[in-house]
Structure 1
Amino acid sequence: MRERGSRRRLAAALALLGMVIPLAACSGIPSSGDVVTGSEVSQQDPGGAEYIVEGPAEGDNMEQILRGFISAFRGSGNYDIARQFLSSGFVNEWEPRESVLVHSGSLNYVAASEDTMDVVVGSATASVDAAGSYRRFAAAPSTLHYEFVREAGEWRISAAPNGILLSESQFDIVFSEHVLYFVDPGGTALVPDLRWFPAGPTAATRVMSALLAGPPAWLEGAATTAFPAGTQLTSPKRVAVEGSVASVDLTSEALAAPVGQRQLMRLQVESSLDLVTAVNISVEGSFFDIPDPSPGMPQPRYQVDNRPLVLDDGKFGYSANGQISPIDGLSEQVEALSPRAVTLARGGGTAAVLHQDGVAVVRRNSAPVLLDTRPGLVAPGLDGYGYVWSVPAAAPTALRALAFDGTVHEVTSNLPADARVAGMEVSRDGARIAILLATPAGPRLLVSAIVRGTGGSNVPTALGVPVIDTTVPGTDARDLAWIDGTTVATLTATGADVSVVAHQVGGSSESLGAPDDAVQIVGGNGEAGLRVLGAEGLLSARRPSGWQTTQITADVLAVQR
C-alpha cells in the first residue's frame, strides 16, 4: 500500500506543477459523527511541488474570503496565510490542528444572511485526528457555518469550525503514511499502527510524539509501549534530522527502564522512524545506554517463505519447479489428516488443520491433537502464543481460542449472530484478527484487537471494538488474508465476477483487480506475495499488471504465519 500511495501522490504532484495557482481546496466538517479536526500541513508535497496560496485581496466579498480561507489550508504550513482571512478577535481562537477532514465531491457556498455563509459539503468521507489516526466513515453531506464582520471596511471571518479541510486528491498529495510500532503485552511482537502526517520537516517529530503518546484506544489490551510513563521529547520537543540520521532526546523518565525494556524502546523508535536509516537516542542531552537488541527480539515485519504452501495430490509442502518440498517432521502428519485447510505457524513446527473430524493441532514429530469437533468449522487461525482459533461458520459468536493441550477459552465478541463466517485470520503479530462475514446486507469486514488476560497469561479473552467494520462490494463473501501488518485483502464475488480489495487498517481501500473464479486467497510478503486458488485448483499470483495464472495446482492452499 505504501508504494500505491506514493504513486498517487506523485501523479497528483505532477499535475499541480502545471498550475500557476492551484484550485481552491474543497472540504468540510460534518456536524455529527466521530469526526475531529487538524494536523499542520506542509507547504511542499513529497515530490517537492510547492503550493501557491494567496491572502485576501482588497474588496473581496464574503464568498471570495471564504474560498480563499479554505484554499489556504493546503499551502500554509503554519497557517499564517489562512489566518489573514480571520478577524482580529477570532484569529487566535481558531484551532487548525485538531484534525483533518477529507471529502469527495463538490462544495456549495450559500449566503445564509447578510453576514453569514454556509458551506454545503457534498460528501465527507474520512478524518485524521491530531495523533494521525485515519478513520473512514460512510459518505454523508454536511453543512458548515461561518460568520463575518467588517474590519477597516474589509470582510473577515469571525467564527468558523476548527480544523483543516482537504479533498481526497489534496490529502493524497499533502499527507504520507507512517507505521508506528507498539509492543504486545508479552514483549514478544511489535504491533503496527498506521498513521498519517503531513510530509515535510516536521514528520519525524510528529511520529515520535505519537509514539510516545502510546497505543490508540482500539488496541487497548492488545498492545502497550516500552517507554516508561511520562516519557516525552525534551524542549523544544522536536526530532532533529540531519541527512538520514535522526536524533531523539527524551525526558528523564526514560532512565527508569531496565536494559531489556530499553532495547524494546529502541526497536519501537527505529522501526517507527522509517524516514531515516539511523537513530541516536539521548536523555536530557546526555548519552543513553541502550545495548543492541538481543537475538530473538521482535521484528517489525516478519517474512514467510516465498513459495506457496500447498496440499497437492496428497502431498503437503512448498511448491516450486513442479516439485513439493515437504516440511520435515510435519508434512506426513498433515497429509494423514486429508486436510481441508491448513495454517502453518512461524518456524514451521506447528500447524492448525481443518479435516473431516474438526480442527486439530499438528506439531513436529508428534501425533495430532483434535481440539474442536463442532460441525461446520471454518479454516482455523493460529497466534504466536500457542492458541488455535476456531469458529463454526454459522455461529460467529461461538469463537474459541484453544490451547494446544485442548483447554478451551471462549472469546467474547460483538459479532452479529445472524451472519456467517466466510474467513478468519489472526495477524502475524498476534494482536489483531480480521473476520469476513456473509450478512443479509452483503459481505462485511471486521478488524479488531485481541484482548488478552493480564499477569502474563496472554490468554485471549475478548475482541475489542472493531477499528474496521465495513461492507465490502459483492454478494458472495469468500475469503480474506493479511497482505502485511496494516492491510487486509478480501475476496468476494457477484455472480461470476470476482473482486479482491485491499483495506488499510487505518487508511483507505483499493481494488486489486479480479482474478478468475478464485475461491481462496492467502498472503505472503506484501502485495506481490498474494495468491489465489481457483475453483479448478490452479493458483494465480498478484503481479503489477494484474493477476497471472501460474502452473501450480493445489487441492488446499495453506496460510503461512
Structure 2
Amino acid sequence: MRRVRAATCLAALLTALTACVAIPTDGPVTEGRADAGLDGDQDVVVVLAQGPEPGADPERIVEGFLLASDAEVTGEFEKTRQFLAADASTEWDPGAGTVVTSRFEVEQTGDAQVTVELTVSAKVDADGRYLETPSDAVETLRYELVQNARGEWRIAYAPDVLVVTARRFVQQFRPAYLYFLTPDEKLLVPEVRWFRDRNVPTAAVRALLAGPSPWLQDAVVTAVPPGTELKPAAVALEGKVAEMTLEPAAAVQDADRGLLLAQLRATLERLGVDKLVVRAGGAPLGGAATALAAPDPGELELLVDGQALRLVGGSAVPVDGVGAVVGSRPHSAARTADGGVRVALADASTLVAVPVGDAEQRTLLTGPALAAPSADRYAWVWTARGDAAGRLDAVRLDGTAVEVTADWLVGRTVEAVRVSRDGTRVAVVSRGAEGATLEVAGVTRDERGVPLTLGAAVRAGASLTPTRSLVWVDDVTLGVLADGDAGPTPYLVPVAGSSTPLPAVADVVDIAADRGTRSLYVVTADGDVLRHEGGTWVAVPGVTDVLEVAGAAFPG
C-alpha cells in the first residue's frame, strides 16, 4: 500500500514535520543559537529530530529517517543514524549530495525494501554545485532494511544523499561566492556554491582552494597555487575576523599574494568577514590585496525608429554623435561600456555597425534569423545564425569574424546569446527536439582575447521555457522572459539557484538590466518602458509617448 507522507505544499509539509518530531519537556537546559548566520537574519522554525518509534514498520522507519535528517541538516545526524543498522550508520554519507524536494511518497515494495519517490526541485553535489531541475523531475530512492536482535526494523542500506524540503534548504543552506580571476587578471569572476550552515567560511575557502568547476575552469584563472590546503583544516572566526593558515608555505609565499588575498577577501566579505589574517606556514602572508576594477556602470538606451535615445530630464533624446540605423526593421542594439562598439540588427538577417561620427553604417554579418547581438569587453560582438549549426558567431568592427563552437549546441538552433560583463561566460537560449533550454558556459580565449570555444554547459532555469529575450542582471543572475499560461513572464534565473518570477507584464516583449533588479526594465508590444521598483513595474516618464520602441539595452 502506498502512503503519501509529505504534503503537497510547504505549509502542509511543515505540519507533517512537526507531527513527527517533539519538543523535549525534561533534560538539561542547553544554549540555543541566537544568530542566523553571517549573511543575515531569517525567521527559522526550530524542528527537533526524534528517533525511531518502538515497533515501527519499514515504511515508518524510512519516513522517520527522512524527517529526522531534514531536521538535522546542520547537525551531526545523531538521531537520524538511530534509524540505521550498525554498519549502515557509519557508512551512510549525507555529504555526498543533497536533493531538494517538495513532496515524497513512501511505499513498501518488498518484504525488506522501501521505495521513496521524490518530486525534485533541485540538486546540490558534494562540492556545493546547485542545479535546478525541470518542473516535472522525479527521482526514486530505494532503502533496504533488516530486523535487529530485538526485532526492530532498521535501514541496512540508504543512498548517500541528504533529502531536504525546500523550506529547510532556504533556512539551513547558505550561498557562498567563490571569486576567481579573468585571464587578464583585471576583474574578479564569481561562482556560487551552496553549503550547509555549519562553517560556511571554511567550506568556501576549501572550495576556492580546490579551484573552479569544470565548466568554468578554462575561462578563468586563479592565484591559488596548485595543491594549496588549509592547515589546520578550518577558518578560525572571531566575530568578523577570519584567520587561516595555508600550506605548502613556500608555494603560497611565491604566489601573487595581492591577487591571492583579493580572491580570499572577496570570497569571505560576502559571508560577513571584515578582516582577514592569512599565514603561510607560521609566517604572515605579507602585502595587501590587489584592488581590482569592476565593470563600468552603463546607461539605458532605447532604439526608436533606428535612432539611439537616452533619458534626460524625463525625456528621450538622441545620443550625441550616433546616427540612425537604416533597414527594414532596426532592432536589438548592443554596445560596449565605452561606446566604442555599437551594433544593431537592421533586419532579421543583417548585423550592422551603427553609424557613429563620420563612420557610415556597415554590414558585419548576414545569416538567417540572427540572434540579438551582445558586445563583450574585448570588443567582440556575439550573435548566432538560426540554422542549427552548433556554433556562435563573433565579429569585430573591422570585419574579423570567428566561429565559436560547442559540442552541446550541435543540432540546436540558437535563439538568444548574452556574454557576461567580465567576458568569461556566455548564456545561450537554444531550441532542440526537447524544446527551448537556457545554458551557461565558460568562454575559452587566446592571449589576445579572441574567443575560441565554449566549455561544457550548465543548465539554468530548468523549470522554465525561455524565450529570445535574455540579459545578465548581475554577475551570477540572468533575467529572461519565459513562456507561461498568460504569455511571456519576467524571471530572475541564478546560474546556481532557484528561478524566481517577477510581476507579470501584459504583452512584454523585451527585458534589459545593468546592475541588479533596480536597473531592470521591460518593454511592451505597445512601446511602453517599465522599470522594476518596489516589487512592481513603474512606467518610465518621457517614454510613454514614444511609439514602436524596438529595444531597451544597457552595455553588453
Shorter-chain TM-score range? 0.7 to 0.9
Q: 1:459 — aligned with what?
A: 450
Partner of 1:383: 376
> 1:7 — aligned with what?
none
Tell me by how many angstroms 1:468 deviates.
Answer: 1.0
Instruction: Report matched runs for 1:135-150 at 5 Å.
Output: 135-138=131-134, 139-150=137-148
Aligned to 2:263: 268
Change (3 A) 1:253 1:411: farther
Instruction: Identify unmatched segments of 5+ residues in structure 1.
Output: 1-11, 25-41
Query: Residue 497 of structure 1 corresponds to which residue in structure 2?
Result: 487
Quick one: distance in 2 between partners of 1:20 and 1:358? 58
Is contact 2:391-2:409 (8 Å) kept? no
| 1:4 corresponds to | none
Partner of 1:558: 553
SS in 2 for 1:74: helix
Q: Counterparts of 1:560 and 1:410 in 2: how far apart (Å)?
A: 23
Give the corresponding residue for 1:33.
Answer: none
Deviation per CA, 1:478-513, whole angstroms, max 9, x where unpaired?
A: 311111122212214469722122222122222223
Match of 2:95 among 76, 94, 97: 97
Matched residue type, 2:208: L
Give the direction of change, closer, same or farther, for the CA distance of 1:50–1:467 in structure 2 (3 Å limit): same
State the TM-score, normalized to the length of structure 1: 0.82
Q: Determine if the alignment matches structure 1 residue 281 to structure 2 residue 271.
A: no
CA distance in 2, matches of 1:350, 1:461: 20
Report whether the alignment pairs 1:399 with 2:396.
no
* Structure 2 residue matching 1:497: 3-state secondary structure: coil
Match of 2:334 in 1: 343
Partner of 1:118: 114
Amino acid at match of 2:405: T
**Cα distance, 1:360 vs. partner?**
4.2
Q: Match of 2:479, as an amino acid?
A: A
The 5 A counterparts of 1:465-484 are 465-468=456-459, 473=464, 477-484=467-474
Query: Which whole-Å CA distance do the structure 1 matches of 2:400 and 2:17 have between them?
Result: 68
2:169 paired residue number: 171
Deviation by residue 1:60-94 (Cα, 9 ceiling, x = unmatched): 44334333322221333112222222223332222
Counterpart for residue 5 of structure 1: none
Counterpart position of 2:245: 249
Letter paired with 1:119:
T
Question: Which of residues 225, 239, 243 in structure 1 aligns to 2:235?
Answer: 239
User: Aligned in 2, Cα 1:359/1:91: closer, same or farther, shift over 3 Å?
Assistant: same
User: What TM-score, normalized to structure 2?
Assistant: 0.83
Distance 2:397 2:70 in 1: 54
In structure 2, relative to structure 1, the CA distance for the partners of 1:415 and 1:351 (3 Å cut) is: farther
Deviation at 1:216, TM superposition (A): 0.4
One-letter amino acid of the structure 2 residue matched with residue 424 of structure 1: V
Q: Is the 8 A contact 1:433 1:448 kept in 2?
A: yes
Residue 209 of structure 1, CA deviation = 0.8
Unaligned runs of 5+ in 2: 1-9, 22-32
CA RMSD of aligned residues (A): 3.4
Instruction: Measure how far apart 1:540 and its partner are.
Output: 1.2
Identity %: 28
Distance 1:352 1:314 in 2: 11
Query: Which residue identity does 2:186 align to in structure 1?
Result: T
Question: Once structures 1 and 2 are overlaid, which stretch shifts more, 490-499 or 262-271?
Answer: 490-499
Helix, strand or coil for the counterpart of 2:390? helix
| Structure 1 residues 509-550: Cα deviation after superposition (integer angstroms, max 9, x where no partner) | 222232121221111221232111122221011234332332
Conserved 8 A contact 1:493-1:499: yes
Aligned 8 A contact 2:521 2:531 in 1: yes
Shift of 1:99: 1.1
Deviations 1:204-225 (A, max 9, x none): 1111111111000111311232
- More divergent stretch after superposition (223-232 vs 180-189): 180-189
Name 1:74's counterpart in structure 2.
Answer: 70
Check whether the contact 2:481–2:491 (CA below 8 A) recurs between aligned residues. yes
Structure-to-structure mapping, 1:287-298, within 5 angstroms:
287-294=284-291, 297-298=292-293
Q: Which amino acid aligns with 2:393?
A: R
The answer to whether the 8 Å contact 2:406/2:453 transfers is yes
The verdict on how the C-alpha distance between 1:167 and 1:227 changes in structure 2, with shifts beyond 3 A counting, is same
Q: 1:122 to 1:129 in 2, by over 3 A?
A: closer
In structure 1, what is the Cα distance between the partners aligned to 2:488 and 2:381?
A: 30
Structure 1 residues 218, 102: closer, same or farther in 2, change over 3 A? same
Counterparts of 1:21 and 1:560, CA distance in 2: 50
Instruction: Note if 1:310 corresponds to 2:313.
Output: no
3-state secondary structure, aligned to 1:79: coil
Residue matched to 2:537: 547
Alpha-carbon contact 2:440-2:457 (below 8 Å) kept? yes
Question: What is the aligned partner in structure 1 of residue 61 from structure 2?
Answer: 65
In the TM superposition, residue 467 of structure 1 has moved relative to its aligned partner by 0.2
Q: 1:43 to 1:244 in 2, by over 3 A?
A: closer
